[in-house]
Amino acid sequence: MEKLKQRILELENISRELEPSEIERNEYFRQIQDYANSFINNIDVSKTFSGRKVKRDALSLDGKKKSLRELIKTYSDEVARKGINAASGGHLGYIPGGGIYTSALADYIAAVTNEYAGLYYASPGAVTIENEILNWMKSIFGFPEDAAGSLTSGGSTANMIALTAARDHHRIKSDRIAGSIIYLSSQTHHCINKALKIIGLEDVIIRYSDLDKNSRIDADSLNRQIIKDKASGLNPFLIVATAGTTDTGAVDPLMEIGKIARRHKLWYHIDAAYGGFFILSGLRKELFSGIETADSLVTDPHKGLFVPYGTGAVLVKNREPVLKSYKYSASYMQDSIQSVVNIYEPADVSPELTRHFRALRIWLPLQIHGIEPFIACLEEKLVLTTYFRRRLTEIGFRTGPEPDLSISYFWYPSESFDENAYNKKLLELIHKDGRVFFSSTVINRKFVIRMAILSFRTRLRTIDKAVQVINTANNKLKRSLSVR
């Protein structure tokens, strides 16, 4: 026994390194804080995009000890300075969120205390905070208090939870799958198709609805198609609308589609991952009329509330199919079984059992800052989008239709050269500059440059810089082509 105890103490002496002393913790935190301050203080002058390749050897694991200072430098050089700087206000490409500082503090606290946020029994405070966040969202979107909800890693998992509920509510399984119909828009985010495959609905019939000139679902055409499909003996069961499409930021006619869904007794799902929180703004509130008629709704706080990546949310009015899909128990969990009024166990409404305490990254900033600066930030992005489009037209660019929200697109009208090829080359030059980042898409076979203005760090000076980068790149491209 003495030898056994001696061996335990030897191992303890080695493993004790995993619990740094207070002095060591303070030094670690000082180094991290110095880097964080440098990163944020210089973010306006740092590149938003770099196409340089990562040195894999610098990031490989060899099991040897390294200093935190050395590792911070490696992170700065090989991670933060390569690819897209998603924290930059110059990220105008893929619906950025930014990552507000007070959310980072929340993540630090959550990681240090390591709260298990799956069951009320394990952490009643963490689960209560998640429920409070979800109840706040229910009030924003007009959902009933007893609706089920979950904070997820993002819109993909959130949409999967909602579509699973729709599947189980309408009992779409086995031989019913092939004859059942889902109605989408060609602008629907591809995570919907991905989720359908994951939940066993890959073989359903998918109807892509006609769109109007602003890329919104044509509700009359949708209604006619449902009537036709029913008359053919098929089984329509789900409509997916979008409140803020990825390509153009369009908001489908939510109220009209909701009426159609009720008339035909279809499940109505709204993907508001990008656009949902714009409902807080008086500038666009009317666009969201009818969102309360949805059976399920997805929105992403890591977009419209500017918190770090990894924060989505789903609300489902009818909790029964959600609980049927995700509520399970096991003998080793018998101690956790209890009845708590008006509290949803997060593990019962999500595929996740082990889950990060992600609610804190929303709760803490809302408590510290209040709601006003979030609303102001959303409205600022809407006005900046209008300003940006006007500046672009002043220097000869064409822009897409007036956007519903803060996503739009533009292109340079070249008469002497293939327009699509010209704008592809223009985007390459913008990427090579790196001070701002845009993405591209194809609208009606036209290659266009896509702007997505949502980072809380995108300001008037950012847009002015973007216009200058675009104009410089365009003039350079025109000169190079004229020489040829």
With 0-12 / 13-18 / 19 or more C-beta atoms within 10 angstroms meaning exposed / middle / buried, residue 264 is middle
For residue 459, the model assigns a pLDDT of 97
The CATH number assigned to the domain with range 372-483 reads 3.90.1150.10
Read off the pLDDT of residues 383-424 as tens digits, 9 standing for 90 and up: 999 999 999 999 999 999 999 999 999 999 988 889 999 999
Amino acid at 168: D
With 0-12 / 13-18 / 19 or more C-beta atoms within 10 angstroms meaning exposed / middle / buried, residue 444 is exposed
With 0-12 / 13-18 / 19 or more C-beta atoms within 10 angstroms meaning exposed / middle / buried, residue 65 is exposed
Tell me the three-class secondary structure of 167-198, residue by residue.
Answer: HHHCCCCHHHCCCEEEEECCCCCHHHHHHHHH
Q: Which fold has domain 108-369?
A: Aspartate Aminotransferase; domain 2 (3.40.640)
Residue 277 near residue 137 (C-beta atoms within 8 A): no
For residue 332, the model assigns a pLDDT of 56
Q: What percent of the chain has pLDDT over 90?
A: 88
With 0-12 / 13-18 / 19 or more C-beta atoms within 10 angstroms meaning exposed / middle / buried, residue 472 is middle
Read off the pLDDT of residues 118-160 as tens digits, 9 standing for 90 and up: 999 889 999 999 999 999 999 999 999 999 999 999 999 999 9
Name 151's bridge partners: 313
Torsion, Cα 192 194 195 199, to 10 degrees, reads 140
CA distance 78 to 84: 12
> How close are the terminal C-alpha atoms of the chain, in Å?
86
Question: Quick one: which of 189, 30, 134, 78 has its CA closest to 359?
Answer: 134
- Output the DSSP codes for 15-41: HGGGS--HHHHHHHHHHHHHHHHHHHH
Name 442's bridge partners: 447
For residue 391, the model assigns a pLDDT of 98
For residue 330, the model assigns a pLDDT of 66
Residue 85 near residue 52 (C-beta atoms within 8 A): no
What average pLDDT score do residues 286-313 get?
Answer: 97
Residue 132 sits at φ, ψ, to 5 deg, of: -65, -40
Residue 95 sits at φ, ψ, to 5 deg, of: 45, 70
Is the per-residue pLDDT at 483 higher than 60? Answer: no
- 342 or 339, which is more confident? 342
Residue 267 sits at φ, ψ, to 5 deg, of: -75, 135
For residue 327, the model assigns a pLDDT of 84
Name 267's bridge partners: 238
Q: pTM for the whole thing?
A: 0.94
Is the per-residue pLDDT at 296 higher than 80? Answer: yes
- 368 or 335, which is more confident? 368
Tell whether the torsion through CA atoms of 108, 111, 113 and 118 is positive or negative: positive
What average pLDDT score do residues 13-29 get?
Answer: 96
For residue 339, the model assigns a pLDDT of 57
CA distance 299 to 405: 15
| Token output for 117 | 């946020």
What average pLDDT score do residues 197-209 get?
Answer: 96
| Token output for 363 | 């709760």
Residue ranges covered by each domain of the chain = 108-369, 372-483
Residue 98 pLDDT grade (very low, low, confident, very high; cuts 50, 70, 90): confident
Length of the chain (residues): 484
Residue 197 sits at φ, ψ, to 5 deg, of: -65, -45
| Token output for 367 | 């408590």
Read off the pLDDT of residues 219-269 as tens digits, 9 standing for 90 and up: 999 999 999 999 999 999 999 999 999 888 999 999 999 999 999 999 999
CA distance 240 to 113: 39
